[in-house]
Structure 1
């Protein structure tokens, strides 16, 4: 008995000498649309696989009213981090909102242009005189379409561009009432599932950006280690999709059970992101200064924003390329 008590006493002494594990830091992460939107799969996969937990973070995702609203909330100090598009700081900086992009999810553009295979549309020039659906006239996918049209000499009046909302953008196209759509990969697959035979046009003339992680100037200055951990965990979710879309689909459906039975469509979406959005970025998450500057020039030239900001005020790469 004395030996048992002595052993217990030693164990208790060792345990008490170990440092206490700090409680996870609770973070509200703003997203521009409901978290169960497939575009936010990297975030949901990171949550499901415990990547945030490994960084000692307890993350709660909250939907805002679009990327500009996310930026305004972050700029006002209502959240430390959020999701938007790489272009978003260009828009809000012009209105005095002090936020930067701190990572982008891929070297491609989030905006794709899909056309019907049997319409004879082979490149962007063939959009002249055609009906093109977009989500809205204030969405970055619309601006990206205008930028791509301008790069080959077409203005916005050269096509009938129709704002149709997040469902109508692909439903009208799938129903044959428009010849093209400009939007995210999710909508391309939705149109395909609805029976449309879709071909994707090359859009290399205007380099709009992918989804971004954004934070305020104040948080970048005062909480750099926190942002590093959040960026690192999120990018791991994207890398899972890049490495194995099928396995990532299973993880995602476990995280968002509403998609159970729709695995084939989810995997198609992931493959589009992998090929057109996430690919060819080194290191993962890095923001291209020249690209940011060119996008801003277009926004100013089109009157989308009133004035240009210093490019270094729009982004920082200090949080990417920081493996654990």
Structure 2
């Protein structure tokens, strides 16, 4: 069976489980589509929301299914293969003009998800130094790649001026540490992994160059119209998971390791990672989960100006803050 058909079969089975009738006392099973494996610390708020019972308390038994990056999540959610999923706040800007009917229904922080981390021994001190360099990315279907392109474009660098390599989640940071590539388009956990493995690095958050955003929860227009209570419940439970991390990253790290036994013995590393997410990604919102309309407008204008999208769309086609209240 091909990868696409196998992936479709997994989603179909999960969606079937989501829609099957359950006893009144049981939590409803739903699928949450993630852009990368839930074992990555990037998804700590989601893992904690499940582990600490926030989803169950809201009435839902959430099953995580993995797609091939944030753009793929948006496409799958848009066609109804999953009721809800995750990408970053940029994603609806990128896909909506191509007929993918999804919106951001909750923004996971006021910072950004993507940070470029480079090896100083390869002559990288600033973004302009990436010209001609090898850069590992999760996938060309992931929005962190578009965030990299946006940051590069702010300095007049195109995708043809760098050697970007889609290497999958296990290799983004490790290839930088090994010296196989010169830099990576990292998430804050991979940033820590690189810093732990290399003495001299430089971190270049994409938000310092353009209005790139943090992770976002996506839902389709159809699901927003037909299942608003489900969307609201999942959004608020996930935000509660993020707030748990923000309140005490060290405590959250211990709970996360409890939920993810593969990190047992790495509690101190996890404390650093969740503290980094809190500073780089989660902080900075006037209201938890809220999209900043002006920031989104600026981001969309930048993507249009640089040729990543053909036209700017009305902002209310890209997001709603209705489900965070």
TM-score, reference length from structure 1 = 0.84
Match among 54, 61, 68 for residue 71 of structure 2: 68
- Residues 149 and 74 (structure 1), Cα distance of their counterparts in 2 relative to 1, 3 Å cut: closer
Match among 196, 200, 203 for residue 197 of structure 1: 200
Deviations 1:252-303 (A, max 9, x none): 1111111111222222211111111111112111112222223223333444
Matched, 1:252 2:252: no
- Residues 125 and 283 (structure 1), Cα distance of their counterparts in 2 relative to 1, 3 Å cut: same
How much has 1:306 moved relative to structure 2?
3.4
- Residues 60 and 157 (structure 1), Cα distance of their counterparts in 2 relative to 1, 3 Å cut: closer
Matched, 1:209 2:213: yes
Runs of 5+ unmatched residues, structure 2: 1-22
Question: Which region of structure 1 is more displaced relative to structure 2, 42-51 or 80-89?
Answer: 80-89
Question: Which region of structure 1 is more displaced relative to structure 2, 232-241 or 169-178?
Answer: 169-178
Alignment of 1:19-98 (within 5 A): 22-98=25-101
Give the Cα–Cα distance (whole angstroms) in 1 for the partners of residues 153 and 73 of structure 2: 29
Q: Please say if residues 123 and 202 of structure 1, whose CA atoms lie closer than 8 Å, have aligned partners that are also in contact.
A: no
Give the Cα–Cα distance (whole angstroms) in 2 for the partners of residues 232 and 211 of structure 1: 15
Matched, 1:101 2:82: no
| SS class of match (1:207) | coil
Q: Please say if residues 107 and 279 of structure 1, whose CA atoms lie closer than 8 Å, have aligned partners that are also in contact.
A: yes
- Residues 163 and 29 (structure 1), Cα distance of their counterparts in 2 relative to 1, 3 Å cut: closer
1:294 alignment partner in structure 2: 298
1:239 alignment partner in structure 2: 243
How much has 1:41 moved relative to structure 2?
0.9
Give the Cα–Cα distance (whole angstroms) in 2 for the partners of residues 143 and 302 of structure 1: 11
Matched, 1:280 2:284: yes
- Residues 22 and 233 (structure 1), Cα distance of their counterparts in 2 relative to 1, 3 Å cut: same
Q: Please say if residues 99 and 214 of structure 1, whose CA atoms lie closer than 8 Å, have aligned partners that are also in contact.
A: yes
- Residues 100 and 147 (structure 1), Cα distance of their counterparts in 2 relative to 1, 3 Å cut: same
Q: Please say if residues 68 and 141 of structure 2, whose CA atoms lie closer than 8 Å, have aligned partners that are also in contact.
A: no
Give the Cα–Cα distance (whole angstroms) in 2 for the partners of residues 218 and 165 of structure 1: 31
- Residues 251 and 117 (structure 1), Cα distance of their counterparts in 2 relative to 1, 3 Å cut: same
2:146 alignment partner in structure 1: 143
The total of aligned residue pairs comes to 302
- Residues 268 and 99 (structure 1), Cα distance of their counterparts in 2 relative to 1, 3 Å cut: same
Matched, 1:116 2:115: no
Give the Cα–Cα distance (whole angstroms) in 1 for the partners of residues 145 and 157 of structure 2: 14
1:12 alignment partner in structure 2: none
Runs of 5+ unmatched residues, structure 1: 1-19
Match among 186, 197, 211 for residue 189 of structure 2: 186
Q: Please say if residues 188 and 198 of structure 1, whose CA atoms lie closer than 8 Å, have aligned partners that are also in contact.
A: no
Match among 227, 240, 244 for residue 223 of structure 1: 227
Give the Cα–Cα distance (whole angstroms) in 2 for the partners of residues 188 and 233 of structure 1: 27
Question: Which region of structure 1 is more displaced relative to structure 2, 277-286 or 167-176?
Answer: 167-176
TM-score, reference length from structure 2 = 0.84
How much has 1:128 moved relative to structure 2?
4.2
| SS class of match (1:304) | coil
